[in-house]
Chain A
Amino acid sequence: QSVLTQPPSVSGAPGQTVIISCTGSSSNIGARFDVHWYQQYPGTAPKVVISSNNNRPSGVPDRFSGSKSGTSASLAISGLQAEDEAVYYCQSYDKSLGGHVVFGGGTKVTVL
C-alpha cells in the first residue's frame, strides 16, 4: 500500500490530454513538501519529468506539466504521443516516522 495514491491506469488517444492524480495527506503533500514525477519505460530506470511540483528539467517536452493543491498533485500530458506510453510515479516527502521519501504506486499511461 503506497503512501501516495495514484490511479493504476489512464489512457488517451494521440493528441489528447491525460491527467494523472497523486493523492497524499497532511503529513506529506499537505505539509507543503514538493511533488516530483518520474517516467519509466519497461526495463529502464525512471527519469524525472517534473521536479518541485511544476518544473520541467532540460530536455523534457513542454507537453508535460505539473500542479499541486492541498493534499494532491497532478501530472498532465497534453498532445499525447505514442512515446508517452510508460508508467509514471509521483514522489514526495513524509514527515511521519522521523521523515522519509514516499512514492505513489505508479500509473500506466496507454496511448490508444
Chain B
Amino acid sequence: QLQLQESGSGLVRPSQTLSLTCTVSGGSISADGNSWTWLRQPPGKGLEWIGYIFHSGNTFYNPSLKNRVTISVDRSGNQFSLNVTSVTAADTAVYYCGRYRGNYGYFDYWGQGALVTVSS
C-alpha cells in the first residue's frame, strides 16, 4: 500500500521560502506512469492545486503560483519536494502531497497533510 508523508518547517517568516518534502513508501517514485503532486488547503477553505511533476520530469504549476513554486524529485531518496518563495500570510495552509493518476486525471493517494503557518 502506497504511503506518503510530508515533512518540513511548520513556521515560515514572511518573504522567506517554504520548503516541504514528501517521502513515498510502499512503492517506487520512479515507477512508470507515476506523477507526483502538491496541493494545499487554507484553514477553513477549499482545495488548491499547486503543481505536479510527471514521470518524465516535466513540471506543471498552477498559473496563480507559477512564479514562486518549484517541485523537484529525489529518486534515490524516493522523495519529492516543494519550494514556495516570497511567502505571505496568504500561503498559510495545510499542504498535502499526493500521487496524480493519468492525464487530466485525479489524486488517488494523499499524505496526511502538514500545516505551514507564515508569520513573523
Distance in angstroms from B110 CB to nearest chain A CB is 4
User: Contacts A45-B111, A52-B106 hold; do A100 and B47 have CB atoms under 8 A apart?
Assistant: no
**B19 shortest CB reach to chain A, Å:** 20
Q: With a CB–CB cut-off of 8 A, which chain A residues contact B46?
A: 2, 89, 103-106
Query: In the complex, are the beta carbons of B60 and A48 less than 8 A apart?
Result: no
Q: Which residues of B contact A91 (CB under 8 A)?
A: 47, 106-107
C-beta contact mask, A63-106 vs B, less than 8 Å → 1, else 0?
00000000000000000000000000101110001111111111
Residue of chain B at shortest CB distance from A50: B106
Task: Please report the total number of B residues contacting A with Cβ < 8 Å.
Answer: 19
B81-114 contacts to A (CB < 8 Å): 96, 101, 104-108, 110-113
- What distance in Å separates the Cβ of B90 from its nearest Cβ neighbour in chain A? 15
Give the CA-CA distance A33 to B108 in the complex, in Å: 17
Q: Which residues of the partner chain A approach B101 to less than 8 Å between Cβ atoms?
A: 51
Interface range for A: 20 to 34
Q: Within the complex, which residue of B49, B60, B63, B113 is in contact with A103, where a contact is CB–CB below 8 Å?
A: B49
A103 to B48, CA, bound (A): 7
List chain B residues, Cβ under 8 A from A47: 110
* Central interface residue in A45, A47, A102, by most chain B CB within 10 Å: A45
Residues in A with CB closer than 8 Å to B111 are 45
Chain B residue contacts of A92, Cβ below 8 A:
104
- A93 contacts across to B, CB distance below 8 A: 104
Known contacts A45-B113, A100-B63, then 14 further A-B pairs from the complex at CB < 8 Å, ordered by chain A residue = A2-B46, A34-B106, A36-B106, A46-B47, A46-B96, A47-B110, A48-B108, A52-B105, A52-B106, A57-B108, A89-B46, A100-B49, A103-B48, A104-B46
By Cβ-Cβ distance, the 3 closest A-B pairs, closest first, are A36-B106, A45-B110, A101-B49
